[in-house]
Amino acid sequence: MLKSSLIDSRTRRHLVLEGALTSPWITELKIAWEKTFAGAQDLALDLKNIIHISANSGETLSELMSESVRLSAGGVFTKHILRKLTRPKGSVDKPGRTAAQTAAVSPNAKEAK
């Protein structure tokens, strides 16, 4: 489930997200982003209360960053994901894994050995 809230200030418009950023909520994020940020100049997406980010969400967040949307994170895992997404495409974090693939792993998920 994903909850979104809009907060306007004099200098910036914030879209605050809470919950899991997974399918079908990725589509909802794109729709909310298009409606919320249309015409705004200083945009921010608050991910401080996100508990899971899927691989598809990572791609969407990368797209938003390329559109100059500011992303903020509070938790260690979410900050880690954002750092991975800002790496150049194709850079390898673990053998055989790109940064985007590594970013999609949930902090509670166990990898198969």
pLDDT digits (tens, 9 = 90+) for 17-51: 999 888 888 888 888 888 777 666 688 889 899 88
Domains of the chain: 2-103 (3.30.750.24)
∠ CA(58), CA(84), CA(70), 5° rounding? 65
Residue 97's pLDDT is: 55
| Nearest to 26, CA basis, from 48, 43, 4, 49 | 4
Identify the bridge partners of residue 7 per DSSP, sorted by sequence position.
14
Identify the bridge partners of residue 13 per DSSP, sorted by sequence position.
8, 43
Do residues 59 and 50 lie in contact, with contact meaning Cβ atoms separated by under 8 Å? no
- pTM for the predicted model, two decimal places: 0.67
Integer Cα distance of 55 and 22 in angstroms: 8
Residue 98's pLDDT is: 53
